[in-house]
Chain A
Amino acid sequence: MTNLEKLNNIFVEVFAIDATVLGDGFDKTSVDSWDSIHQLSLTSALEDEFDIMMDAEDILACTSYSNVKSILTKMGVLEIC
Chain B
Amino acid sequence: MFLDLDKKDKNSIAVIDDSGNSITYGDICDFSKVFASYLPKRTLIFILSENRIGSLLGYTSSLINRIVPLILSSKTEKGLYRNLRDIYKPEYMWVPNEMVDDLNYEKIFSDFGYSLVKTGYSQKAMYDELSLLLPTSGSTGSPKLVRHSYRNIEANAYNVLRMFNLTSSEKAMAVLPMHYTMGLSVIASHLLAGATVLLSGRSLLDKGFWEMLKEATSFTGVPYSYDILMKMRFTRMDLPNLKIITQGGGKLTPEMFQALASYAHDNGKSFIPTYGQSECTARMAYLPAELALSKTCSIGVAEPGGQLSIIDNDGNETFTGEAQGEMVYRGENVTLGYATCLDDLLKGDENHGVMHTGDLARRDADGCYYIIGRLKRFLKIFGLRIGLDEIEGLVKSEFDVDCYCKGNDEKLQVLITRGDLVNEIVSFIEGKTHLFHKNIETIVVDEILRNEAGKVINQ
A residues with CB within 8 A of B: 14, 16, 35-41, 43-44, 55-56, 59-60, 62
Contacts and interface: CB of A to CB of B under 8 A. Distances in A.
A68 B205 CA distance: 14
Contacts, number: 36
Given A35-B203, A36-B228, A39-B203, A56 B436 contact: no
A36 B203 contact: yes
Contacts of A37: 224, 382, 436
Interface in B397-446: 427, 436-438
Nearest to B225: A36
Contacts of B205: 36, 39-40, 59-60, 62
Contacts of B436: 37-38, 41
Given A36-B204, A60-B206, A41 B232 contact: no
B455 interface: no
In the A-B complex, the 10 residue pairs with the closest CB atoms: A36-B203, A56-B232, A36-B205, A37-B436, A39-B205, A36-B204, A16-B437, A60-B207, A60-B205, A40-B228
Contacts of B203: 35-36, 39
A41 to B, nearest CB: 7
B231 A59 contact: yes
Contacts of B204: 36
A17 B432 CA distance: 18
Contacts of A59: 205, 231-232
Contacts of A36: 203-205, 228
A34 to B, nearest CB: 9
B227 interface: yes
A40 B227 contact: yes
B210 interface: yes
Given A36-B205, A37-B224, A59-B232, 8 more contacts: A36-B228, A39-B205, A40-B231, A56-B237, A59-B231, A60-B205, A60-B207, A60-B232
A64 B139 CA distance: 27
Contacts of A62: 205
A55 B233 CA distance: 8
Contacts of B438: 14, 41
14 contacts: A14-B438, A35-B203, A36-B204, A36-B228, A37-B224, A37-B382, A37-B436, A41-B436, A44-B231, A55-B233, A56-B233, A56-B237, A59-B231, A60-B206
B22 to A, nearest CB: 25
A16 B427 CA distance: 9
Interface in B231-250: 231-233, 237
Contacts of A38: 436
Nearest to A56: B232
A43 B210 CA distance: 18
A44 B237 CA distance: 20
B388 to A, nearest CB: 21
A60 B210 contact: yes
A56 B234 CA distance: 9
Contacts of B227: 40
Interface string B356-389: 0000000000000000000000000010000000
Q: Which of A14, A40, A41 has the most CB of B within 10 A?
A: A40
A59 to B, nearest CB: 6
Interface in B266-294: none
Contacts of B206: 60
A32 to B, nearest CB: 10
A39 to B, nearest CB: 5
A43 B203 CA distance: 15
Nearest to A43: B231
Nearest to A44: B231
Contacts of A41: 436, 438
A39 B209 CA distance: 15
A16 B426 CA distance: 11
A46 B224 CA distance: 19
Contacts of B231: 40, 43-44, 59
Contacts of A44: 231
A38 B439 CA distance: 11
Contacts of A43: 231
Nearest to B208: A60
Contacts of A55: 233
A35 B438 CA distance: 14
Nearest to B224: A37
A55 B207 CA distance: 13
Contacts of B207: 60
B435 to A, nearest CB: 9
A62 B232 CA distance: 13
Interface in B171-223: 203-207, 210
Nearest to A61: B207
B229 to A, nearest CB: 10
B153 to A, nearest CB: 29
Nearest to B437: A16
A37 to B, nearest CB: 5
